[in-house]
Structure 1
Amino acid sequence: MSMGQNGDEPTVGQLVANASKDLSNLVRSEIELAKTELKKTAVKAGTGAGLFAGAAFLALLAIVLLSIALAYAFNALGLHPALAFLVTAGIYLLIAAVLVLIGRRALSSAKGPERAIQTSKESVDALKAIGKGDEVSLPTAPPEPGGRR
């Protein structure tokens, strides 16, 4: 840190410049942390949505097969072809139900950027304390994205 004219303490301008630089670094770090956390959440949400899409496709196939089976049942009353279609449709419905359960679990595990929100709250509290004139020790280096805090 550079010193003022008398060599003892930095000037007010230097303090403001340093605080501005530190605040800028802190904001950039918080944004990077939020991006990292949201990327992980988006992958989980995308997986859950993909599983729901697979379940919807299989359910559509089941509806088509159930319709054909019902038509055979009414048309022929010789239950053999209709029964075969009903069993196939039942298998598709079971697979669709399993995909829905897996998709629901994947979507429920998706979370927001919890660490970024927490560290942002800490930063706001520290800035409020500085504004009141309280002594606050700020971290010397912002946390690395993806690293543990």
Structure 2
Amino acid sequence: MSNGPKESLPTGELIRQMSEQVSRLIRDELQLAKLELAEKGKHAGIGAGLFGGAGVVALFGGGSIVAAVILLLARVMPAWGAAAVVGVVLLVLAAILGVLGKRQVTEAAPPTPERTIASVKHDIDAVKERAHR
């Protein structure tokens, strides 16, 4: 390799150097992306754990409220009746939420990006059409 100015290097050498530099740049960019994704993944994991903890605490809070409602109803009816009424109300609410959830899951199936696939097929057809002209 010559120590002179870049203008004096043969074209083949300049292309080789450019190829090496582009390869190095891509590797460096991929490494940077990996580090960034690892950092974001760590934060996402911590956030998911905190959401899970919040869910558990909310579950205990909800259970306490259910117990309070049962105790309140037990002042005007037998305790077993109060527990049965609250249980039935909770089961009806669970059934409604289950039906709504099933409807949402059904709308999401199949899990393929149909509009994107159609768009890509359209783009491919357009490119093929222009290539034949």
TM-score (norm 2): 0.49
Which protein is bigger by CA-based radius of gyration?
2
Higher-RCO chain (CA-CA 8 Å, sequence separation at least 6): 1
TM-score (norm 1): 0.44
